[in-house]
Amino acid sequence: MLFYKFQITCDLKDENSCLNLNETRRNFRMQLNDLSAALSEGIDGERVKVLIHHAKNKILQMLVAVDGFGELTTTKLTVLLRKFFSEHDEFGINDIHVKDLVEITATKFSKIFDKANSSDNFNFDYYQINQDLGLDCLDNRTFKLHEIICPAKRLSFATAMNEAKGLLADQTFSEEFKRIYAKENARHFYGQPVHYKIVAGNTNAAIMLSNLLVATLYTNKRLISRRINIITNITENCYDEIDFEKILDNAAGGTVIIDLSGERVKSGPFAHAYEEVIEFIATVIRRYSRNTLCIFVETIDKPGFAPQLISQLQDDLHIIELQEGSGNRDAALAYLKDLMEEDKTAIYTEDELLEAMGDKLTFSASEILTVREKLFSSALKNKTYPAYREVDRLTIENSAEENDAYTNFQEMIGLIEQKALIEQIIAAHRVQKMRLDMNLDRQKAALHMCFTGNPGSAKTTVARLFAQILARDGVLKSGRFVECGRADLVARFVGWTAKAVRTKFREARGGVLFIDEAYSLSDGSHATFGDEAINTIVQEMENNRDDVIVIFAGYPDKMKDFLDRNEGLRSRIAFHVDFPDYTPDELTEIFKLMAKRRGYEISPEVAKHCRKIFARVAKRKNFGNGRFVRNLLEQAWLRQSQRIVNEHSDGSVTKNELTRFTVEDFDVNVEKTCVDERQLGFTR
């Protein structure tokens, strides 16, 4: 559906009269229906709805909605309207002149329509028209909708490339623009051959890049509408939602941006709630993907359910991934200047802009947008409203500093071999980047790994931090971490297992696929579903060697048997990392670190007492390592809580008492249950 507004200036047959709508008011609705039918016949037979929302003297302000793929032009509209009014003498119009024809959003169309409906001049069948035009889907509680119109100017290839450079766009945009402007392409709208996923640091950067992408597609007649529907804030209640479907349907010939960003969907009730959402959205997109362009937005830090949705659509849609790029300091400064031009109240010198950018040498578009927002906020307080210049902001001291993944990893106790491995991989990546820059080679080393160790030896924690660190340093694109086990990879029916494995690889694209208790895939017999999963994993490891790092994890003995069974799998694993059990001293340090992160202070007496406990349990099989420490701390917290309540029935408790344990708080039974944690339901 395309929405327009325009103006008609009328040459009346009686030059001394005005347009008298009161005389024709009884037949007004019928005449507008006739006009709509007349325009429909002239615009490739597509359904058209015309509304007059204001009339004064010789001027008519009009709205028109076109349900089809015939783009409206001033010339076409003038011809059709002249013919209509020449056949309807009751209007007393001799000739008309059309001007100011512009495409508008459905939201603006609806607001103008609402205002006209509330006046006494016109008698619309308001609710029927709203339903016919799909205007009743613009306000919904399960998601938010925002619409924009991209610039009307047609972009040459050189201009598009220059604007992409100005937006610090990645090389993937340049490559796609070459395909969009290719001379062999048809210059007519037939449908959507591809759809897009844009990966950026924040949604605003992705939308600015999308705006340029839509402009290039509109220039090359791959789109007939410049309207962009932006869907954000999708909740877990957005399933079987007719409004969502109407938006996709109404956007035929145009674009829908679906922002999938949010907290990472992992497991448990939250992930289960979104399963219906993902299935519903995937179904709707498949239904309308032929004519409606879909741009999926995934933010790097908060990908939300983007991996799950894209993996579902991958077999049905051709989705091209475009990346937010980066630029050097000069390019970033030029981009920031362009952005600040739009903020009339925020006037800064070049030196002030450079100071705001800090000491970084390269910037992404999202980073520059963040700098711009901080500058604009500062300008409001210090320049536009200087009375607030000396007012101090409210500050709340954090009890603990937030550390990045690398710092957290370095703070972990022990793990000398693992820390050395991280440094080696980062160093190898930097050298590889230098070699690529010098055109020495383009072969990227595979980084698949096998982590072996007993329960609680930090295999999963290290793998998760490993993904984040490699993403920060550019080894991985997103740092996405997808954890799975046999239940996620082995299906119930023949042929389903391979698809399940490929789906997990797609979810993990740009990050790490962590397969826990990988030995459970091998059940000791041939031609089983487990064998099908292993064979598919081997194939996908090779197919995705540049996009996914696979980490297998499990108990040492069982993982050895697992790898011995499949030599093809063993040969593709570059690193074997053993996670030994922690010593009593290391467990004591882990205990102190856990307590510190929870805001507790550990006295020497408590530390000495706990070390004795660790020395006893460390001799037992499968005592749980770090998990035992966590359980000990949690049970001590319960004992401390009970003690404090009993000792302070009046509620007068000091901060010192809340943040300190006594030796008696550790008189708990967790030590008696550490013989075999796998039988006790400990969480992994």
Based on the fold, state whether residues 282 and 336 are members of the same structural domain.
Answer: no
* Total number of domains constituting the chain: 5
Cα gap 389→605, rounded to integer Å: 51
Rounded mean pLDDT, 239-256: 91
Based on the fold, state whether residues 423 and 562 are members of the same structural domain.
Answer: yes
State yes or no: pLDDT of 615 exceeds 60: yes
Based on the fold, state whether residues 502 and 603 are members of the same structural domain.
Answer: no
By three-state DSSP, how is residue 234 classified? coil
Residue 9, number of CB atoms within 10 A of its CB: 13
More confident residue, 248 or 419: 248
Cα gap 54→61, rounded to integer Å: 5
Cα gap 16→28, rounded to integer Å: 23
Cα gap 637→602, rounded to integer Å: 13
Q: What is the pLDDT of residue 344?
A: 63
Based on the fold, state whether residues 445 and 540 are members of the same structural domain.
Answer: yes
Structural domain includes residue 398? no
User: Would you place residue 273 in the very low, low, confident or very high pLDDT band (cuts 50, 70, 90)?
Assistant: low
Based on the fold, state whether residues 156 and 64 are members of the same structural domain.
Answer: no
More confident residue, 286 or 125: 286
State yes or no: pLDDT of 638 exceeds 80: yes
User: Which DSSP letter does residue 654 get?
Assistant: -
Lowest mean pLDDT among 96-105, 304-313, 367-376, 659-668: 659-668
Lowest mean pLDDT among 315-324, 469-478, 586-595: 469-478
CATH number at residue 196: 3.40.50
Q: What is the pLDDT of residue 44?
A: 62
Closest CA to 224 of 195, 190, 248: 190
Residue 240 backbone zone (phi > 0: left; psi -120 to 50: alpha; other: beta): left
Which is it for strands 59-67 and 255-259: parallel, antiparallel or unpaired?
A: unpaired
CA 40, chain centre distance (Å): 40
Measured CA distances, 388 to 102, 382, 473, 554 (Å): 42, 7, 40, 59
Based on the fold, state whether residues 350 and 380 are members of the same structural domain.
Answer: yes
Q: What is the pLDDT of residue 319?
A: 93
Mean pLDDT of the chain: 80
User: Would you place residue 465 in the very low, low, confident or very high pLDDT band (cuts 50, 70, 90)?
Assistant: confident
Based on the fold, state whether residues 24 and 47 are members of the same structural domain.
Answer: yes
Query: For the chain, how far is it from start to end, CA to CA, in angstroms?
Result: 51
pLDDT digits (tens, 9 = 90+) for 474-529: 777 777 888 888 888 887 666 678 888 888 888 888 889 999 888 888 765 444 67
Residue 279, number of CB atoms within 10 A of its CB: 15
State yes or no: pLDDT of 677 exceeds 50: no
By three-state DSSP, how is residue 314 classified? coil
Cα gap 535→221, rounded to integer Å: 45
Based on the fold, state whether residues 419 and 500 are members of the same structural domain.
Answer: yes
- Cα–Cα–Cα angle for 72, 74, 78, nearest 5°? 105
Q: Write out the DSSP string of 239-306.
A: SS-HHHHHHHHHTTTSEEEEE--BS---SHHHHHHHHHHHHHHHHHHHHHTTTSEEEEEEESS-BTTH
Based on the fold, state whether residues 427 and 293 are members of the same structural domain.
Answer: no
pLDDT digits (tens, 9 = 90+) for 219-228: 999 999 999 9
Structural domain includes residue 399? no
Last residue of a domain, one of 553, 579, 605: 579
Contacts 24+ apart (CB under 8 A), 593-599: 593/411, 593/412, 593/413, 594/629, 594/630, 594/633, 595/633, 595/661, 596/400, 597/400, 598/633, 599/399, 599/400, 599/659
Structural domain includes residue 345? yes
Rounded mean pLDDT, 461-469: 86
CATH number at residue 483: 3.40.50.300
Last residue of a domain, one of 556, 579, 602: 579
Angle of the 329-342 helix axis to the 350-357 helix axis, nearest 10: 120
Q: Give pTM, 2 decimals.
A: 0.61
Q: What is the pLDDT of residue 442?
A: 59
List the structure tokens of 614: 């660790």
CA 195, chain centre distance (Å): 15
Q: Please provide the size of the chain in residues.
A: 684
User: Would you place residue 343 in the very low, low, confident or very high pLDDT band (cuts 50, 70, 90)?
Assistant: low
Measured CA distances, 130 to 1, 49, 125, 134 (Å): 13, 11, 9, 6
CATH number at residue 619: 1.10.8.60
Q: What is the pLDDT of residue 674?
A: 56
Structural domain includes residue 195? yes
User: Which DSSP letter does residue 181 get?
Assistant: T
Q: 363 near 327, Cβ under 8 Å?
A: yes
Based on the fold, state whether residues 556 and 588 are members of the same structural domain.
Answer: no
Measured CA distances, 353 to 341, 356, 358 (Å): 12, 5, 9
pLDDT digits (tens, 9 = 90+) for 362-383: 888 888 888 888 888 777 777 7
Rounded mean pLDDT, 254-265: 81
Contacts 24+ apart (CB under 8 A), 158-165: 160/212, 160/215, 160/216, 160/219, 163/212, 164/212, 165/327, 165/331
User: Would you place residue 684 in the very low, low, confident or very high pLDDT band (cuts 50, 70, 90)?
Assistant: very low
Based on the fold, state whether residues 348 and 411 are members of the same structural domain.
Answer: no
Q: 429 near 466, Cβ under 8 Å?
A: no
Rounded mean pLDDT, 448-473: 84
More confident residue, 593 or 538: 538
Angle of the 203-219 helix axis to the 171-180 helix axis, nearest 10: 20
Last residue of a domain, one of 579, 602, 634: 579
Q: What is the pLDDT of residue 193?
A: 95
Q: 573 near 537, Cβ under 8 Å?
A: no
Range of the domain at 16: 2-136
CA 330, chain centre distance (Å): 29
